[in-house]
């Protein structure tokens, strides 16, 4: 149970004549705060431990700035001084495993400034980064024993914040018009005509939105009246902003209605502001390439809503900026997903019931294909791949709107000729167009696969189909677009930013070539990576200092060979020579 600010102030009124311990409970803990700089690290560790304790139970609130045993309000409330809430939020995130994000509010009292640390109920068992696991039982934090941990794991597997019953919410708090709208969507887009024809109460029960007559948070989010949303889900809001410059905007709307109504309103505003471009597709009519399709924008927003942390009192933001669309949602990545593996990680849902209802209405794919489809649609339209950014309290998806016109034409023409290019083909070909060349390591990075062999097979397949040309042999082979494609798909200035070859990937590839061929010249390195002579000398000096390469020969015959750490069993007399 989340205590309101008014409830907390009422409890603080009891501090005259009673210690802070008297107002504590299974969902409320009071902690003193010493502003001395020398005690900051220690107190942050204690705060993280308390957060873990509450998260492993039912969540709750920690009030920072109250002494434990003082028996008067004036003596008990000493405040936290100028303590920055972000210091607490960051420390809790860094010192918990899996990471926990807390919401922090200020509470200004006559005696001092307090911080209310709002702790969510953990979806999985949590520990501190030092491995300490505790759980709140009554007013105490006790060690999380093996038996308790087993029970907690079983319970949390089924925990879903949006499936929780909302206290005091009734069927009358749901909007009949929105319920009927959802029924139509389920019957048509969702393909479940029989379910859509059920009486409203039975329909809601079948979807799990109403459980034994009790209304869930998902029901309020999907079809709740505005008053119900304001009371039980004030954080449910999508803010739409159109920026004219980096800092100025000319349109902003705060969309706070039930989810289906918000999506409809968002579509109207998006389509009113999106621009379409007509491109000549080489003699086969006009190829229409929008800045962005509504389908892609909707999928991005739905991902933000389905995976957002509804514990945090923050909004989802949809920002139309020059050259891009940003969609930001509260809560960091969840369940091991991150920017580096979002294409390959098995689907993980923070709010399963909400996702199930949207899937029933034909909005989202249960198999988690939404991200794949965003990638594929953007690439087919000649856009750069989507970029994900994250921090302790948010995930931002950046969708670039500028098109690589030649790439869009190429993909359209291949489709017209019946040549199938799947998502991984498109990723590799776009990478080759932007980077000039790829090897198995850089291809694995853009494909988000840890298996370099998979990336190598994809490169080889595209070469066999005539899309790529190979340079070199063995593990050190690099690939670039075939000559006819390289002439028609030059690197696009709007998408080249930040796409230089990873220096570490270059180093790894050079080591692989040395091990494979036994030799490599300065000119060959320049040709492979586009480096200058001085840059190659600098790079190879570093490898020589690490014992990974040596110089053999002089003058025109000089070349690099494997060093003792790269090939400790070889000598210059028996080293295999490459051609």
Mean pLDDT of the chain: 85
Question: What residues contact residue 526 under an 8 Å CB cut-off, 6+ apart?
Answer: 532, 533, 536
For residue 108, the cross-strand partners are 113
Instruction: Give residue 152's pLDDT band: very low, low, confident or very high (50, 70, 90).
Output: low
Q: At what angle do helices 503-517 and 533-545 cross, to 10 degrees?
A: 70
Residue 276: predicted pLDDT:
59
Which pLDDT does position 485 carry in this prediction? 83
pLDDT at 36 over 50: yes
pLDDT digits (tens, 9 = 90+) for 358-376: 999 988 764 455 888 899 9
CA distances in angstroms from 49 to 52, 62, 202, listed in the order given: 5, 11, 44
What are 396-405's pLDDT values in tens digits?
A: 999 999 888 8
Rounded CA-CA distance 60/80 in Å is: 20
Q: Residue-wise over 520-545: b if at least 16 C-beta within 10 A, else e?
A: bebebbeebbebeeeebeebbeebee
- Quote the pLDDT of residue 124: 74
Residue 278 in this model has a pLDDT that exceeds 70: no
Look at residues 138, 33, 36, 108 and name the one whose alpha carbon lies nearest to residue 76.
33
- What's the pLDDT at 499? 37
- Mean pLDDT, to the nearest integer, of 3-16? 89
Q: How far is the C-alpha of 434 from the C-alpha of 579, rounded, in Å?
A: 30
Cα–Cα distance list, 394 to 118, 308, 328, 503 (Å): 17, 8, 7, 29
The terminus-to-terminus CA distance of the chain in angstroms comes to: 72
pLDDT of 12 higher than 70: yes
Q: What is the pLDDT of residue 357?
A: 94
- 578, 518 in Cβ contact below 8 A? yes
- Residue 516's pLDDT is 75
Report the predicted TM-score, pTM, of the whole model to 2 decimal places: 0.71
Residue of 471, 429, 465 whose CA lies nearest to 447: 429
What pLDDT was estimated at residue 450?
86
CA neighbours closer than 13 Å in the CB half-sphere of residue 61: 21
Determine the Cα–Cα distance for residues 414 and 416; give it in Å rounded to an integer.
5
Judge contact between 243 and 320, C-beta under 8 A: yes
Backbone angles phi, psi at 114, to 5 degrees: -110, 155
Residue 498 has pLDDT above 80, yes or no: no
For residue 98, whether the previous peptide bond is cis, meaning omega lies within 30 degrees of 0, is yes
60-64 and 112-119: which strand pairing?
A: antiparallel
Hey, which residues does 561 pair with through a beta bridge?
Answer: 550
CB 9 within 8 A of CB 94: no
pLDDT tens digits, 56-102: 888 999 999 999 788 889 999 999 999 999 999 999 999 998 888 89
Q: What is the pLDDT of residue 283?
A: 52
Please spell the DSSP secondary structure of 479-537, one letter per residue: EEE-HHHHHHSPPPTTT-TT-SPPHHHHHHHHHHHHHHHS-B-HHHHHHHH---HHHHH
% of the chain with per-residue pLDDT over 90: 46
Average pLDDT of the residues in 267-272: 87
Give me the domains of the chain, ranges plus CATH numbers. 5-159 (3.30.950.30), 171-232 (no CATH), 238-405 (3.30.565.60)
Please report the beta strands in 324-462, taking only residues with DSSP state E, as ranges in sequence order: 324-330, 387-391, 394-400
Say which DSSP state 472 is in.
S
Q: Please report the pLDDT score of residue 572 as a whole number.
A: 38
Q: Which pair of structure tokens corresponds to residue 106? A: 């200020």
Q: Which of 43, 53, 16, 48 is nearest to 28 (CA)?
A: 53
Over residues 558-573, mean pLDDT: 68
Distances in Å between the Cα of 523 and the Cα atoms of 94, 436, 528 are 47, 18, 9
């Amino acid at each position: 149970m989340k205590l309101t600010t008014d409830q907390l102030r009422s409890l603080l009124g009891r501090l005259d004549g009673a210690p802070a311990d008297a107002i504590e409970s299974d969902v409320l803990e009071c902690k003193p705060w010493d502003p001395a700089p020398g005690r900051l690290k220690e107190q942050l560790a204690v705060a993280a431990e308390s957060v873990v304790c509450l998260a492993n139970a039912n969540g709750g609130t920690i009030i920072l700035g109250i002494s434990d045993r003082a028996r008067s309000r004036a003596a008990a409330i000493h405040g936290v001084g100028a303590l920055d809430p972000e210091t607490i939020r960051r420390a809790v995130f860094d010192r918990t495993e899996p990471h926990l994000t807390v919401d922090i509010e200020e509470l200004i009292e006559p005696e001092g400034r307090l911080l209310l640390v709002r702790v969510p109920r953990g979806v999985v068992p949590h520990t501190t980064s030092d491995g300490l696991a505790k759980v709140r039982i009554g007013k105490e934090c006790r060690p999380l024993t093996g038996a308790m941990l087993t029970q907690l794991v079983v319970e949390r597997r089924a925990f879903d914040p949006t499936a929780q019953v909302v206290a005091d919410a009734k069927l009358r708090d749901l909007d009949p018009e929105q319920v009927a709208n959802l029924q139509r969507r389920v019957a048509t887009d969702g393909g479940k005509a029989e379910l859509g024809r059920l009486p409203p109460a039975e329909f809601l029960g079948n979807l799990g939105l109403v459980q034994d007559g009790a209304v869930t948070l998902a029901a309020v989010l999907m079809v709740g009246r505005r008053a119900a949303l304001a009371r039980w889900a004030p954080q449910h809001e999508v803010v739409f902003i159109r920026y004219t410059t980096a800092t100025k905007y000319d349109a902003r709307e705060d969309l706070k209605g039930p989810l289906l109504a918000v999506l409809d309103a968002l579509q109207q505003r998006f389509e009113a502001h999106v621009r379409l471009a007509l491109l000549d597709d080489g003699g086969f009519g006009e190829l229409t390439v929008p800045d962005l399709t509504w389908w892609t924008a909707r999928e991005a927003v739905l991902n933000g809503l389905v995976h957002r942390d509804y514990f945090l009192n923050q909004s989802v933001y949809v920002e139309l900026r020059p050259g891009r669309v940003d969609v930001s949602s509260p809560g960091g990545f969840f369940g091991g997903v991150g920017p580096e593996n979002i294409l390959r990680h098995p689907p993980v849902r923070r709010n399963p019931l909400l996702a199930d209802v949207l899937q029933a209405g034909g909005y989202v794919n249960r198999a988690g294909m939404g991200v794949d489809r965003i990638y594929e649609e953007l690439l087919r339209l000649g856009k750069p791949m989507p970029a994900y950014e994250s921090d302790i309290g948010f995930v931002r998806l950046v969708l670039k709107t500028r098109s690589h016109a030649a790439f869009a034409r190429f993909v359209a023409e291949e489709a017209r000729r019946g040549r199938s290019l799947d998502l991984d083909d498109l990723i590799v070909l776009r990478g080759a167009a932007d980077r000039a060349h790829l090897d198995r390591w850089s291809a694995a990075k853009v494909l988000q696969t840890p298996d370099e062999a998979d990336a190598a097979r994809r490169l080889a397949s595209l070469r066999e189909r005539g899309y790529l040309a190979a340079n070199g042999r063995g593990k050190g082979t690099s690939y670039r677009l075939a000559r006819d494609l390289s002439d028609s798909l030059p690197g696009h200035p709007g998408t080249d930013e930040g796409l230089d070859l990873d220096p570490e990937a270059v180093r790894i590839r050079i080591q692989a070539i040395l091990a494979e061929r036994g030799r490599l010249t300065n000119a060959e390195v320049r040709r492979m990576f586009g480096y200058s002579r001085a840059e190659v000398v600098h790079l190879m000096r570093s490898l020589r200092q690490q014992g990974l390469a040596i110089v053999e020969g002089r003058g025109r015959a000089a070349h690099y060979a494997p060093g003792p750490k790269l090939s400790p069993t070889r000598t210059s007399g028996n080293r295999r020579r490459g051609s």
